[in-house]
Amino acid sequence: MTETLLIAGARVLGRDGADILVEDGVIAEIGAGLSRDGARVIDADGLVALPGLVDLHTHLREPGYEASETILTGTRAAAAGGFTAVFAMPNTSPVADSAGVVEQELALGEAAGYATVQPIGAVTVGQKGERLAELGAMAGSRAKVRVFSDDGFCVFDPLIMRRALEYVKSFGGVIAQHAQDPRLTEGAQMNEGVVSAELGLAGWPAVAEESIIARDVLLAEHVGSRLHVCHLSTAGSVDIIRWAKKRGIQVTAEVTPHHLLLTDELVRGYDARYKVNPPLRREEDVLAVREGLADGTIDIVATDHAPHPSESKACEWQAAANGMVGLESALRVVHQSMVQTGLLEWDDIARVMSSAPARIGMLDGHGTPLEVGRPANITLYDLAVAGRFTQAELHGRSENSPYLGRELPGRVEWTIHNGVVTLAEGAVAEELVR
């Protein structure tokens, strides 16, 4: 049995304050003036209560790359950012392309306890794009994998992509594509455009993303299966997804917080914290993906949390690794780029950062409304504060955040995972009461 919690005065989805009673990991009562003897009282006066955040795109690095992150440290970072569930990408060592590896990841997440860890299986063996991985075995394993991706690598062969879409259709799975034509991006260092021309860096053209998305939505339509587009980043990609949805194709898409806020102008300083795949794009693309998220063309926000050791970033631009950490900062960046701009309300944030990711990934017990009888996965967020994002706010093993030193609104104050407090007054719990 978990401890009884009484959350006092929370603004559910930003509305009027209410008390939330949590017993045995479940929301037992919601109302005004609630009380319970022996309950741990959480003063949530003025805090926005959201369903626990769900990240469909997280790199936890374990097994194999524990110098960058572990499942324990990554889920502590998740708790700090208000996340109660994360989907772990398969680019580990060994690659998560078999039932054994995904079950190991699941067990490590359960042992850590800070967030539910749902493994994503690789589409192809070793993420090499040559033959399908054990999709059925992973789906039938204790991990119950339903999302498959070679993220970091595009499933470039159209026949293999078609076969993957056909295979997962039998159990309702989804293929999550890293849309990048490898031939059009050989040697690419940043977005192709005015800035890359001025800096003399090889460009990553928008069409390299858009052409793969266009191909894959047609393949998904042809076989009647589900496609998810990872980290969409260009205005043209938004147009293609919008067209595909109007046509009735089963496609969903995600955008990262950094593609909602940052542009390729930041590359001028050659700070490798801004090196990422897909690259930071033009201001026009940023505005387009914001609009796409606001009008529902883009379904969710996903962090693409990608930790790297300092030596992989503290080097010349061309040699630096792609990727940014983003779990701890995600909600604050979305607050700034989407709520403060008037594009989304807090019930929309609950949809794009909790309910829709859980629905796409078919993760039970997460993304559910804050209602009586539902699992107590809850994020409490303070709108009234703002400050510079610092290294002290990073709780994983890596510090490659593009937001260090940047002023961001808000702060996650409390995170509750299945009734267990994992973040209290902005501090990650050192020991979990469960």
Measured CA to CA, the distance from residue 304 to residue 327 in angstroms comes to 8
Nearest to 420 by CA among 114, 121, 97, 137: 114
The length of the chain, given as a count of residues:
434
Residue 128's contacts (CB-CB under 8 Å, 6 or more residues apart) are 153
Catalytic residue, from 216, 285, 304, 382: name it: 304
State the DSSP code for 352: I
Alpha carbon of 416 to those of 98, 117, 131, 144, 330: distances in Å? 31, 15, 41, 24, 17
Q: Half-sphere exposure of 28 toward its Cβ, with a 13 Å CA cutoff?
A: 16
Residue pair 374/368 in contact (Cβ under 8 Å)? The answer is: yes
Residue pair 12/347 in contact (Cβ under 8 Å)? The answer is: no
DSSP output for 407-419 = EEEEEEEEEEETT
Measured CA to CA, the distance from residue 42 to residue 10 in angstroms comes to 9
* Strand 251-255 with 300-301, pairing: parallel
Measured CA to CA, the distance from residue 63 to residue 424 in angstroms comes to 29
State the DSSP code for 426: T
Would you state the structure tokens that stand for residue 346, as one six-digit string?
Answer: 């807090």
Would you state the structure tokens that stand for residue 415, as one six-digit string?
Answer: 């995170």
Measured CA to CA, the distance from residue 328 to residue 168 in angstroms comes to 32
Q: Half-sphere exposure of 154 toward its Cβ, with a 13 Å CA cutoff?
A: 23
Measured CA to CA, the distance from residue 153 to residue 59 in angstroms comes to 14
304 classed as catalytic: yes
Report, in this order, helix, strand and coil percent for the chain, each rounded to 5. 35, 25, 45
Active site residues: 304
